Structure formats: structure tokens, C-alpha cells
Amino acid sequence: MRRANPKAASDRQLLEIRNLKLEFGSREKPLRAVDDVSLSIRPGETICVVGESGCGKSVTALSIARLVPSPPARYVDGQILLQGRDVLQMSADELRQIRGGVVSYIFQEPGSSLNPVFRIGNQILEALKLHRPEVATEAEVIRLLRLVGIPAAESRIRDYPHQLSGGMQQRVMIAMALASHPALLIADEPTTALDVTIQAQIIELLRSLKEQLGMSMLLITHNLGIVGDIADRVAVMYAGQIVELAPAAELLMRPLHPYTQALLNSVPKLGANLQRLTAIPGSVPNPGAFPPGCRFHPRCPKARRDCPDRAPELVEVQPEHWVRCFYWDAPLPSPQEALNPNNPALLQSRESSRS
């Protein structure tokens, strides 16, 4: 088994995050929100980062363009290589060039991201003037709106955000993000505030635009239901760390980490005759109070007595499949082996295995 950073050859990478560590709070009582995260994205690749709220997904994504203010945050260690250049070493002028120019963001809650007092056409035009002034025209704004599927774009450019539905607002945000022709599009929970039908439309739109424009994409989500439709690879985060990284099809068919298995088991399955959904007991620990050893062990059905005593590394257990767990391939422990025989997660898993 290989213990190394899960990345391909550097000359093939658009983005390469190496052992990133970011913390908040005082130095005496640091809150490590991102801890030793390594991740790479190849040109034209789509990676989904999944996990519960509070796992560090958004902070990792914002760090790529150094959008997490410092202070209060501290970039303690690591590198963020974007097109071979370390973002953490860039000047303010260099950061302004890559923000929007090389990396563009789409955020959740488009209604709060759009300026309510400006027409949407003017807001897209402003992005064009900043990054592609040579084509900053009304005709280009209309083309972008058509590209993202907004009908009657010629008249819609004069609308204010409140005149658009949530789905249309998100399409405007996508048009603004694409105005600069970015190499990397980062979508942070882009479908959270939308109904299920519109969610599917937005995901299909992102997939189609990525292929048309040849971009790479990093999609942050807690919805495993959309991962198989869009991702090439999936990174699963828990308590500030990547606990599993694998090709999307393989991870969805054969998850190896107990946390990934629990996430997939909690997704409703069409046609399943279940009275209740399977939930993961407990919650993600606070960054200031991570448990010792393996951070998932208080909630893990496979936890052994030594799990609090040693921290697992991210290990390549199969080709291109990385897991942070000592007992990923072990059966459920006996009461003598288990960390806590009365662990609700352990009891629930045993009950499921009996049925």
C-alpha cells in the first residue's frame, strides 16, 4: 500500500493542493478547519467534494483563490499550486488576476450573491469589463445568458434579480462565472436552495458547459445523489480531512471508508421498502475538539479499541483509491474488540446486518 499525496504527475495538473493546513482562533487554542488536505485536478476533470456540513469543504474551496481572509484564518502549512504557481505566495495584484480570471466561483443562495439594485445585464457586463474588456458588449452579455439557457435574453438583461426565479438567478451567476473564460470553475453547493427539478437542470447545465468550454470543475456538495451524473473523481471529507478519494463510479459502487458507506446508506433508495432512513449517529466534531486518533471513531461501526490511540494516514489501498482507515477491509468488531460495545453506531450497524 502506498502512503503519499494522492496526485498525478505535476505537469498534468491544473490545480495541486499539497498538505494544506488552515486554522482559525488563537495560536494557543487553534481551530484546525483544514488539516493536511492534498488534492489535484487535471485539465478538463470534474471532482466532487462531499461530506456533512462542517467538514471543511467550503473552506478548502475558498482557499484555492485565497478567499479565506488572513487574519482571522492562518495558512499554517502546505501549497496551493494553480497552473504551477503557489497561490499562498502570490501578491495582492497576482491574486486579483487569478480571482475570476483563472478561477471562478458559483455560490449557493444566488439571491444573496447578486446585487439587488443593479440589473443583471449590468452585473455580467461588469465582470466582462474586468476580465475580458475587449468583448465587454451587450451582445456578449446576451450570448452568455443564452449559453446558460435563459430564454428571451434580449429583454432579460434589463431585469433585476428579484424579477427572476431561484433557478434563473443561479443561471445568471453561472453566466457571470463564465464571463472570464476560467480554467477552473468552483461550484459550492450550487443547488442547495433550489427544488429537485431545477437542481437536475442546473447540474446538467454545468456538465454540458464544462464539456463545451473545456474547463475543469470542483463541485462542493453534500448530495451524493448528483455525484454519479457529473464527477470523474470524488473526495470525501470528514473533520477537516479527506478520508476517501476514488473514481466516482468505483466509490459509489464500492465505498471502502466506514464514513463513506454511512453517507451512501443514508441516501433514500428508489423502490426500497424502508420504514426509516439510516442515519449516522452523532455529528461532525467541532474543529477545536477533534477526538484523538481517528476522528470518525466515536461514530464508526468498525471502531476498535486502538482507534483513539493512532491517527490513520490517507493510503492508496487499490489503484487510484485512497482511504484513511486502519480497518476499512475488516468485518464488524466483536464486543471484545470494539471501542465501545454500546456505541449507537455499532448497534445500528449490527441490527442492519442481521436484517
Distance CA 203, CA 187 (A): 10
The mean predicted confidence, pLDDT, of the chain is 88
Residues belonging to the chain? 355
Burial code (b: 16+ CB inside 10 Å, e: under 16) for 180-202 equals bebbbbbbbbbbebbeeebbeeb
Q: What's the one-letter identity of residue 124?
A: I
Q: Which of 205, 238, 224, 183 is closest to 64 using CA atoms?
A: 183
How far apart are alpha carbons 219 and 188 in whole angstroms?
6
User: Which one is predicted more confidently, 240 or 350?
Assistant: 240
DSSP-assigned letter for residue 333: P
Residue type, 149: G
Q: What's the rounded Cα separation, in Å, for the pair 335 and 314?
A: 27
* pLDDT, position 2: 57
For residues 20-29, average pLDDT: 88
pLDDT band at residue 8 under the 50/70/90 scheme: very low
Cα separation, 256 vs 261, in Å, equals 7
Give residue 355's pLDDT: 42
Residues linked to residue 22 through DSSP beta bridges, in sequence order: 34, 75
Euclidean distance between CA atoms 187 and 202, whole angstroms? 11
Paired strand residues for 184: 103, 216
Asked whether residue 299 carries a pLDDT value surpassing 80, the answer given is yes
CA distance linking residue 36 with residue 314, whole number of Å: 10
CB atoms within 10 A of CB 132: 14
Q: CB-based contacts of 151: which residues, under 8 Å, 6+ apart?
A: none
Contact 261, 325 (CB under 8 A): no
Within a 10 A sphere around the Cβ of 109, how many other Cβ atoms?
A: 15
pTM of the full structure:
0.89
What pLDDT does 353 receive?
40
pLDDT tens, residue by residue, 197-239: 888 888 899 999 999 999 999 999 887 878 888 999 999 999 9
